[in-house]
Structures are given as structure tokens and as C-alpha cells.
Chains A and B, each alone.
Chain A
Amino acid sequence: MPEDYLPILIYFLIAVGFALAGIATSHLLSFLFVRRRAAKDKLIPYESGMLPQGPARRRFHVQFYLVAVLFILFDIEIVFLFPWAVVFRELQILGLIEMGLFILVLFLGLIYVWKKGALEWE
């Protein structure tokens, strides 16, 4: 029933409102009270902090993408595991065999990728 999810909607609206109100208040306060003076220190990313090295828009390592692909695979596996787990007792051994086959296929893929060395962080 959609009514049960009303708190989530309210929560979402509060979260968005909180974020927007924070930004708006900060802008308003700085508009009202801050005297703007040009200072070189204000322009560095971390004031009074470490100086960042190199450009911020660096190319990420492709290893991140490979991990994300593995993640998507097991994410989908969970989606199929969940309804199976709910009816596990009713389907008994047949359901176990079917799900075993499903997991075996994905597991073979994981082993292959592992053996290929795609999981090693270079």
C-alpha cells in the first residue's frame, strides 16, 4: 500500500528542504554580514590546510570500473536471491537446485576473473 511509504516521502521532503535552507541561510548571512576583501588565501581549496598537488580532474584508474562491474553482478544476484529466500521452504529441493545452478554460473565467472588477475590492484 502506498500509504505505508508516506513517511519516506515526508523524510525526503525534509531532507531536501534542510539542504536548501542551509544553502540559502549561508548565502543570506554572507550577503548581509560579510565584508568582501580580496585575499589570496581565500582562493585555495583548503584554507590553512595542505596544498593540493596536481589537477583535481585526474583520470581515475580503470580498476574502479572493474570493481563496479563485479558489484553490479552481485547486486542483481541479491535481487533474485531475495524472493527465492522467501519461498525457500515451499519449493524445497527443486528451488535449491535451481538457485544452486544460478549461483554456480556466476561463481564460475568470478573464479575466471580472479584467475585472470583482474582483481589485483596494480
Chain B
Amino acid sequence: MPPFENLPTDLVLQGIFLLVAGLIVVAAVAVVTLRNIFHSALALILCFSAVAGLYILLEAPFVAAVQVLIYVGAISVLILFAVMLTERVMDPKMGARNEQWWLGLLLTAIAATGLGAIVGFAPWPLSKAPIINDQITALGKEFLTTYVLPFEVASLLLLMALLGAIIIAREKEGG
């Protein structure tokens, strides 16, 4: 990379990571605490986009593209439509938290402590192997050879989701 040759790469990468991670955490906190659920949905879109940035930092551009296509492009749209379809929800007067939120906070603290302990103490067998080149080609081959059964089952799952969602959500009875 000629224009960035003189930069201390590690430091720059760490700085970008902290920027993206901060954006993710702030957006996620906004998602779970904002009173207006529509604003939560918008924060969720920001969070999804930032996670895509993280995938690029991890050198997985295909997954980053999938994240943008499906999460940012489709799932967010679905959630926004659902919010607008349930009109009372857009009423900001409806509280954000239910009666048992403190119990949830307690459980979250326990779970986070356990997970943090695992992250801190488990020995990870780090590999020095180079990253596979030409990821897209390799992915295409893997999808259609080793993972062909999950691949076909995924199409059945999508079919079921489509039929189920449309039959459940339609207003006409039995139609």
C-alpha cells in the first residue's frame, strides 16, 4: 500500500478497531434503552453497519458484504415495517422496560461474568497459518461440495419461512 507505507500499521488498526467497537457498543446500548422503538430500530441499523466494518477489519470481505446485504438491507427494513405496522408501538409514551428488567440485568451480569472469565482464562490455540487466498472462489467450492446438504436445506428453510410468514401475516382468513 504505497500511500500508507509509513504509518505504524498496528496502531492504526487498533485505533480503527476501537472506533468501530465504540460505535457498535453505543449503538447497541441505544437499541436496548431508547424509549421510542423506531429510534431503536435506526440504532440497530447503525450497529449492523459497524459490525460489517469489523468483518472487513478481520479480512472477511464476503461476510461483510453479506452483513450489509442481509442485515442492513433486508432485516432492518423488515423490522422498520413491523414497527410501523404496529401503531401503538410508535407511541413513545409506552415504557421501554418491563416489570422484570432488574431480574434481566442480574442474569445479564451473571452471564457476562461467565463469558468474560472464559475469554480471559481459556488458552486459544492461535494459528500462524496464512489466510486462504481467493476467498470467494474457495467459498463457492465449499458451498457446492462439502456443504451442499446445508446449502440445499437452507433453500427449504427459506421456503418455509416465506410461506409461514406470508400465511401468518396476511389479514384475510384462510385466503
Please say whether the chains A and B touch (CB closer than 8 A). yes
Interface residues of A (CB under 8 A from B): 1-3, 5-6, 8-9, 57-60, 62, 64-66, 68-73, 75-80, 82-87, 90-91, 94-95, 98-99, 101-103, 105-106, 108-110, 112-113, 116-118
Q: With A83-B136, A83-B143 as known contacts, state yes or no: A57 contacts B75, CB within 8 Å.
A: no
Query: How far apart are the CA atoms of A63 and B169 in the complex, in Å?
Result: 9
Contact between chains at B152 and A102 (CB < 8 Å): yes
B137 contacts A2, CB within 8 Å? no
- Distance in Å: Cβ of B36 to nearest Cβ of chain A: 11
Interface contacts (Cβ under 8 Å), in number, total 141
Q: How far apart are B18's CB and chain A's nearest CB, in angstroms?
A: 13
Asked whether, in the complex, the Cβ of A72 is within 8 Å of the Cβ of B78, the reply is yes
Interchain nearest-CB distance for A65 vs B (Å): 5
B10 within 8 A of A: no
**Is B74's beta carbon under 8 Å from chain A?**
yes
- Given known A-B contacts A2-B59, A84-B140, A101-B155, A79 and B66 have beta carbons under 8 A apart: yes
Point out the residues of chain A lying under 8 angstroms from B4, CB to CB: 3, 6
From DSSP, what is the main secondary structure of chain B's interface residues? Answer: helix
Distance between B49 CB and nearest chain A CB, rounded to angstroms:
9
Q: Which residue of B lies closest to A61 (CB)?
A: B85
- Report chain A residues within 8 Å CB of B91: 57
B77 located at the interface, meaning its Cβ lies under 8 Å from any Cβ of chain A in the complex? yes
Chain B minimum-CB-distance residue to A56: B90
Q: Give the segment of B24-32, B97-105, B114-122, B157-165 that binds chain A.
A: B157-165
Q: Are B163 and A112 in contact (CB under 8 A)?
A: yes
How near does chain A come to B156, taking the closest CB pair, in angstroms? 6
Residues of A within 8 A of B81 (CB): 60, 64-65, 68
Which 6 A-B pairs rank lowest in CB-CB distance, beginning with the nearest? Answer: A83-B140, A87-B140, A72-B74, A105-B155, A109-B159, A59-B87
CB pair B62 A2 closer than 8 Å: no
Query: Min CB distance, B9 to chain A, in Å?
Result: 8
* Min distance, Cβ A13 to any Cβ of chain B, angstroms: 9
Q: Could you tell me if B165 and A69 are in contact, using CB atoms closer than 8 angstroms? A: yes
Say whether A116 contacts B175, CB under 8 Å.
Answer: yes
Query: Which residue from A57, A66, A71 sits with its C-beta under 8 Å from B170?
Result: A66
Which residues 1-18 of B sit at the A interface, judged by CB distance below 8 A? 1, 4, 13, 16
